[in-house]
Amino acid sequence: MQLLKNPNFSFMKSRKLFYLVSIIVILVGLISIIIHKGNKYNIDFTGGLSMEIAPRPVNGEYMTVSQIRDSLQRNGFIDVEIQELFRTNSFLVKVKSEGGAGDKIIETLQSDFPEQTNYEGFIRSQEEVGPRAGADLRASGLKAIFISLFLVLIYIWIRYRFTWGFIAALGLLHDITITLGILSLTGKEIGMTILAALLTVVGYSINNTIVIFDRIRSNLKLYRKEDDAQVIDRSINETLNRTIMMTFTTLIVNLSLMIFGGPVIYDFAFTFFVGIIAGTYSSMLLVTGVVLDSVLAIKKHKNLTKSK
């Protein structure tokens, strides 16, 4: 399916603008991260309790977030996060606390709201993570991201050139940095679900990059007499329909997960949504521009060496 017939856009003429856009977005995200003293981590990485509760209505009225928070804070749970899950008529309660907090929360709520909580299905799920286990998971997650970046660099170095591998790794770092910045701006907490989404973004982005790199490598050999910028523009245009279709279909599926997948999958879908946009942008416009500048710089260096 061809959405665009023989596209012929001059992307490389605007590559400095693309650099500027990326720098601005990254800086905004980094400023947000600095202001918030780093990204927030959920109990997967900090340790604590996550519990889904489903109070039943009394006379057609459900409990509210403020009622639950006031009840728990009166009984010592100061740092408590409560999220209302509208589709399931339940609440997600997160407390950064050590073992035994679950029983106390249940006792507190059943004491303060007996009619809504004293029944068998009140607790839908309960999960506790120790602080040491959370720290180990966080370290393992960061290690997984950096190992993936390193392996991508090695793979593209072997298949193409070391310079291109380094540029591709920078592109992936660009995508992850932008995604983390957006997560900070939106107040999302990083946990195992978001970590899985970040690793998925790495795979998605590098797939796009390799397709374009393949076409650039082939066209640099076929069109030796053409200007390097024209060759790279040609390569992007030749893969443009494929890039648009792949991105569009992936976004449609991802939006379905965000809308219909429920709260459990939402953070993964949201993170992947941001990563898809950042990854498509970087592989098509940013990385290719850096490749062009590197090719021009290498040729300039060779010409200066010959002239000496």
> Degrees (nearest 5) of the Cα angle 305, 306, 308?
70
Q: Could you give the residue range(s) of every CATH 1.20.1640.10 domain in the chain?
A: 12-41+133-307
Instruction: State the pLDDT at residue 93.
Output: 85
Q: What is the pLDDT of residue 247?
A: 92
pLDDT, residue 130, reads: 66
Do residues 43 and 50 make contact, with C-beta atoms less than 8 angstroms apart? yes
Amino acid residing at 139: A
| Integer angstrom CA distances of residue 260 from 44, 96, 134, 201 | 24, 29, 29, 21
d(C-alpha 275, C-alpha 273), whole Å: 5
CATH topology of domain 12-41+133-307: Multidrug efflux transporter AcrB transmembrane fold (1.20.1640)
206 contacts 306 by C-beta, under 8 angstroms: no
Give me the sign of the Cα torsion angle 159, 162, 167, 168.
Answer: positive
List pLDDT tens digits, range 202-259: 888 888 888 898 898 889 888 888 888 999 999 999 999 989 999 999 999 999 988 8
Residue segments in the chain with a per-residue pLDDT below the cut of 70: 1-3, 44, 86-88, 97-100, 129-135, 264, 306-308
Report pTM: 0.77
Looking at CATH, the fold of the domain delimited by 48-129 is given as: Alpha-Beta Plaits (3.30.70)
CB 236 within 8 A of CB 212: yes
160-193 per-position pLDDT tens digit: 777 888 888 888 889 999 999 999 998 888 888 8
> What is the predicted pLDDT for the residue at 86?
67
Domain with CATH 3.30.70.3400 in the chain: 48-129
pLDDT of residue 276: 94
pLDDT at 307: 66
pLDDT at 189: 82
